[in-house]
A = this chain, B = another copy of it.
Amino acid sequence: MEDIKNNSWCHELDEIDRQIVIFLEKNARMPFTKIAEKLGVSERTVRIRVAQMQEDGILSLVGVVNPIKVGLNVQTFVHLSVQPNRIEEVVSQLKEMEEVRWIALTTGEYPLMLDVLTRDYDDLSDFVMNKLNKIEGVDRTNVVNVLKKMKSRFNFMR
């Protein structure tokens, strides 16, 4: 079981990598010199390791906008049942819709799941009525509204 560490799809991060990530998870613009100082390594070490992790697709340093602050107040999950031979076609249409932020193929009664963001319930109902329900091949839909987020933690290092 331990050989998992040497697989290329699972990059095992050493302690220095992990510490670097912890700082950058909080502040993507933290100066490398400051991180280096805190960890007792050279600035170069930090710079090289960050570049390597970005290169390997392990770490991204990005700006993220808070959707609520720009007026996208309503988050909804839509479970979709589709005629099996038309899934590809339906997905390609869904991909083009800007309200649809995330699409996945899933197990269960409804093979597609969408994460949908809209300004308000008017826009949501407009989306469901005029976009979703107009797609050919959609069988049944199950719409679940997010009322309140109770936890959201997407930083991975401790």
**Residues of chain A having any CB pair with chain B under 8 Å:** 4, 9-11, 13, 21, 24-29, 56-72, 75, 77, 91, 94-95, 100-108, 113, 142-157
Contact partners of A144 in chain B: CB under 8 A:
106-108, 113
Complex CA gap A119/B91 in Å reads 27
State the number of copies, please: 2
Cα of A113 to Cα of B142 in the assembled complex, Å: 14
The CA of A106 and the CA of B77, in the complex, are separated in Å by 9
> In the complex the two chains form, is A63's CB within 8 Å of B24's CB?
yes
A133 to chain B minimum Cβ distance, whole angstroms, is 18
Task: Give CA–CA (A107, B142) in the complex, Å.
Answer: 11
A150 touching B91, Cβ below 8 Å:
yes
Question: Are B60 and A148 closer than 8 Å at their CB atoms?
Answer: no
- Known A-B contacts A60-B64, A62-B25, A62-B26; the reply to A71 vs B10 at CB < 8 A is yes
Residues of B within 8 A of A102 (CB): 149, 151-154
Give A2 Cβ to nearest chain B Cβ, in Å. 13
Contact of A58 among B26, B69, B101, B103 (CB under 8 A): B69
Residue of B nearest to A146 (CB): B104
Contact of B27 with A61 in the complex, beta carbons under 8 Å: yes
Q: Do A63 and B21 form a contact, CB below 8 Å, given A77-B113, A150-B95?
A: yes
Cα-based distance from A65 to B147 in the complex (angstroms) = 27
- Contact A29 to B95, CB < 8 A, known contacts A113-B77, A147-B104: no
Give the residue of B63, B66, B94 whose beta carbon is less than 8 angstroms from that of A28: B63
For A148, the closest partner residue in chain B by CB is: B105
